[in-house]
Amino acid sequence: MIPLHLRLTNITCDFGEGSSLDLKSGNRIFLKSFDFILHLATTKNPPTRDHSRWHAAQRDVTVTARTRCPYPKSRFNRGVPDPKIRIFDLGRKRATVDEFPLCIHLVSNEYEQLSSEALEAARICANKYMVKYTGKESFHLRVRPHPYHVVRINKMLSCAGADRLQTGMRGAWGKPNGTVARVNIGQIILSIRTRETYRAHALESLRRSQYKFPGRQKIIVSKNWGFTPLRREEYMEKKATGKVLVDGAYVQFLSNHGKLADNVRRFPAAFQEA
């Protein structure tokens, strides 16, 4: 019998004693009654995904959402469990818009589904880090998506003789197992508004909360003032001219429509004579 030795690292084959032959990908070698084929992979250990796990498959958006139907509740959608996340605003949420000018977002880079458990874990992670290093009165954390979409599971028996008790994929409509939030590419998941001195801590808290989500996310420092849609320079300019009115974490704008008397009453500084 002829000894055979394969060394895939050097891409060589040794047959017998003192004889070797270099190979390329896909070459076929005939040696007496033996037929050897060497196939070389083009990638180094590509990452694989376990599709057998039910939760691993819930990030894929494969069905139409029922969140905008006129009657989302039906005889097929009963007994939906409550979402794990119940709090969406943390920290000093009643702080005015002038106190926290810096705003940093955690933005989704995939079209996927985020479970309520993942949202709750990310909320706890970011909140604990900010409270530890900045204090609970130095930031305002907000979770943007809400888990309204219901996912189902078709439970299978794993005991002995289970094949006699169940019908496989016949009648595979499952029971509600949890809720998820559907996020698109570029949609904001978490937002933190704080002072400029805590920029590094806010970035680190969002970086740690990234590991609670599947897929890819990006951390973006907003150019706007806090949670408002105004750029920082624009906000300072409009505030100096009296064209914005502080309204909690947001602002009200002076509109060119409506009654003039109402605008004068709400924005008196904008109508003062120079």
Q: Is residue 75 part of a domain?
A: no
Torsion angle of the four alpha carbons 153, 159, 163, 167, in this order, in degrees rounded to the nearest 10: -20
Indicate whether 107 and 137 sit together in one domain.
yes
* Structural domain range at position 148: 80-153+172-221
Q: Is residue 104 part of a domain?
A: yes
Rounded-to-integer distance, Cα 145 and Cα 106, Å: 12
Indicate whether 113 and 141 sit together in one domain.
yes
Rounded-to-integer distance, Cα 214 and Cα 169, Å: 28
Indicate whether 92 and 217 sit together in one domain.
yes
Cβ–Cβ under 8 Å, residues 80 and 187: no
Indicate whether 180 and 239 sit together in one domain.
no
Indicate whether 31 and 112 sit together in one domain.
no
pLDDT at 242: 86
Q: Is residue 145 part of a domain?
A: yes
Q: Is residue 49 part of a domain?
A: no
Cβ–Cβ under 8 Å, residues 245 and 230: no
Give counts: helices (H), strands (E), the chain.
4, 15
For 90, 112, 211, 220, 250, the CA distances from 147, given in Å and listed in that order, are 18, 12, 19, 23, 24
Q: State the residue for tokens 């992979």.
A: 41
User: By CB neighbour count within 10 A (0-12 exposed, 13-18 middle, 19+ buried), where does 118 fall?
Assistant: buried
Indicate whether 236 and 178 sit together in one domain.
no
Q: Is residue 207 part of a domain?
A: yes
Rounded-to-integer distance, Cα 188 and Cα 179, Å: 19
CATH number at residue 243: 3.30.60.300
- Structural domain count, the chain: 3
Indicate whether 97 and 193 sit together in one domain.
yes
- DSSP secondary structure string, 136-167? TTSEEEEE-----EEEEE-----STTGGGT--
Residue type at position 137: E
Indicate whether 188 and 258 sit together in one domain.
no
Q: Is residue 188 part of a domain?
A: yes
> Does the reported pTM lie above 0.75?
no
CATH number at residue 145: 3.90.1170.10
pLDDT in tens, 113-163: 999 999 999 999 999 999 999 999 999 999 999 999 999 898 888 887 777
Indicate whether 194 and 238 sit together in one domain.
no
Indicate whether 144 and 32 sit together in one domain.
no
Stretches in the chain below the pLDDT threshold 70:
1-55, 66-74, 76, 273-274
DSSP character for 26?
T
Indicate whether 102 and 202 sit together in one domain.
yes
pLDDT in tens, 254-263: 888 888 888 8
Indicate whether 209 and 94 sit together in one domain.
yes
Q: Is residue 54 part of a domain?
A: no
Q: Is residue 12 part of a domain?
A: yes
